[in-house]
Structure 1
């Protein structure tokens, strides 16, 4: 029934005028929810007893580190994002905000106060989008569970739980993914990449970071921390870089069976702040990064097969 409803919804959105109406309705619902959360979250911070969410420890055998980064254009909505992450049904061992040294003085008080609720803020060299994960890998090592999440998103209370509930043996798990090539290994432009169906798993999968990604132990290695090479090949496209390195280590990409409710805060992507806008210009961005990665490393499909056969 859900698939039928989704199909009808897609058909209706193609009707002239209905697509604009649908978009306006979605925007209004998002803004109303945003205003409600802005009013409600400070109350929950002051009076934790008001919250009905009961968090529990995770079921993993090694530590769980959740990381995100941010920069001044997004600081206005950062506290709201962090409050969502602090109200998860599953507790990570560490929730870390990685901030460039030069942006330390600009962090809002609302963010700094969240350290009393378990937030860990660490200041590092400005590695742009790569400071979300490379410092975490270097600090905590490669044999723990690393989860990354964006700084401009509402994440439902069960966001982390639903990510961890997906099977993960030799798999990197994401809430949203695409196929970077077809079954014959042919690569089309990024804008034509089909979405992975819920629950799909493939060595042709590609992680979409804005829904959150779980990298199980040893799915990434020291080579993934080569920032100088990363910015040569993928200056802004960290999703490309980390997808390639996971595939080359023999890990497939899995999309979760269900994606939790999420949306970006109204205005968070204004004025070209969204990295996705910078990643996907015509004849560039992800397409150019993929071309460079294949030229440097070759197709990850061959590396994937070689690694899996040797295990």
Structure 2
């Protein structure tokens, strides 16, 4: 039996009047745009001038994928990681189109000379950012950090994730976490989920990969065990699949700070029309409805934190999906 989707639960009154909220939103957006354009210029200059290694000694691997026109701007995202306060042992960029290798931009070639790995993969859609790594025979025992190809990450981005993993190695940690809404035994619409405003680990926390997420080795082994089932149940929604696998594995999710973070997007990296993004919102609800069982929803509603209490809740449920 699978779950259903309902509308959002009733919320309390907002703290600010609507005009003030609109002004605050405009100011935040303008500040982000300015920061993004400034960051873009600095990172492109850094890519031209710096010759030091993009990788380092932190026991973690960073994995990313890109496609199509974004090959022109992905070096900016990679360079933002390479200038971090700490640097990972490996940075891997997965491509699913051999033609992109033939038209590799100069900025990406410079990063490859500094240690960034560019590797070919089958096309797993958004799941390409992690699945080729977790399915590789040489899978290492390091945590895996996933990153998006259209974001400028701050210098402390990886350090914060890495330190969170060191402190709580049995959890998944992210910079931006939502809370899955459950109302009357059903999951509320994806777009109505609230943002997490604390660092409490829970199974109803939902990590958004756009801001970066670190996964412990236990999660990587679980993903390898599940294989490519995601291509049948939610091919276009890696965050949903990753949450569901973590839920079934009893691995809680935690936000690294009380404030959810969405970092600046790379100017010129967005080529997806708004109507396609809106369609994806409806598809998320469709995939959630088909994936989460009644037992899953019971765990989400309970907001349980200890994985030792979850195993018996799925007895009798179909775990294959």
TM-score > 0.5 by shorter chain: yes
Q: 1:106 to 1:227 in 2, by over 3 A?
A: farther
Corresponding position: 1:169 with 2:182 = no
Q: 1:77 to 1:277 in 2, by over 3 A?
A: farther
Q: 1:27 to 1:252 in 2, by over 3 A?
A: closer
Q: 1:306 to 1:288 in 2, by over 3 A?
A: same
- Indicate the SS of the match to 1:95: strand
Judge which range, 221-230 or 121-130, deviates more: 221-230
State the shift of 1:12 in Å. 7.1
State the shift of 1:185 in Å. 5.7
Matches within 5 A, 1:146-157: 146-157=144-155
Corresponding position: 1:235 with 2:240 = no
Aligned length: 290
Corresponding position: 1:107 with 2:111 = no
State the shift of 1:247 in Å. 1.5
Q: Residues of 2 paired with 1:178 and 1:127: CA distance?
A: 24
Q: Residues of 2 paired with 1:57 and 1:197: CA distance?
A: 32
- Indicate the SS of the match to 1:251: coil
Corresponding residue of 1:64: 60
Corresponding residue of 1:247: 247
**Greater relative CO (CA pairs within 8 A, separation 6+):** 2
- Indicate the SS of the match to 1:88: coil
Indicate the RMSD between aligned Cα atoms, in angstroms: 3.5
Q: 1:269 to 1:32 in 2, by over 3 A?
A: closer
1:52-87 deviation line (CA, Å, top 9, x unaligned): x9x9733xxxx4211000012211211111111111
Question: Among 102, 115, 118, which residue is 2:115 paired with?
Answer: 118
Q: 1:80 to 1:257 in 2, by over 3 A?
A: same
Q: Residues of 1 paired with 2:129 and 2:121: CA distance?
A: 10
Corresponding residue of 1:144: 142
Q: Residues of 1 paired with 2:21 and 2:160: CA distance?
A: 36
Q: Residues of 2 paired with 1:24 and 1:95: CA distance?
A: 30
State the shift of 1:142 in Å. 7.2
1:92-124 deviation line (CA, Å, top 9, x unaligned): 111111111433223212212211111011111
Q: Mind listing any 5+ residue stretches in structure 1 that lack a counterpart? A: 1-9
- Indicate the SS of the match to 1:263: coil
* C-alpha contact 1:100 1:123 (8 A) present in aligned 2: yes
Q: Residues of 1 paired with 2:213 and 2:276: CA distance?
A: 16
Matches within 5 A, 1:78-97: 78-97=74-93
- Indicate the SS of the match to 2:230: helix
* C-alpha contact 2:112 2:118 (8 A) present in aligned 1: yes
Query: Structure 1 length normalisation: TM-score?
Result: 0.80
1:7-50 deviation line (CA, Å, top 9, x unaligned): xxx8377338625742662354135414532553234425x59x
Corresponding position: 1:292 with 2:290 = yes
Corresponding position: 1:132 with 2:137 = no
* C-alpha contact 1:66 1:147 (8 A) present in aligned 2: yes
Corresponding position: 1:40 with 2:41 = no
State the shift of 1:229 in Å. 2.2
Q: Residues of 2 paired with 1:248 and 1:189: CA distance?
A: 21
Corresponding residue of 1:7: none
- Indicate the SS of the match to 2:91: strand
Corresponding residue of 1:98: 94
Corresponding residue of 2:200: 200
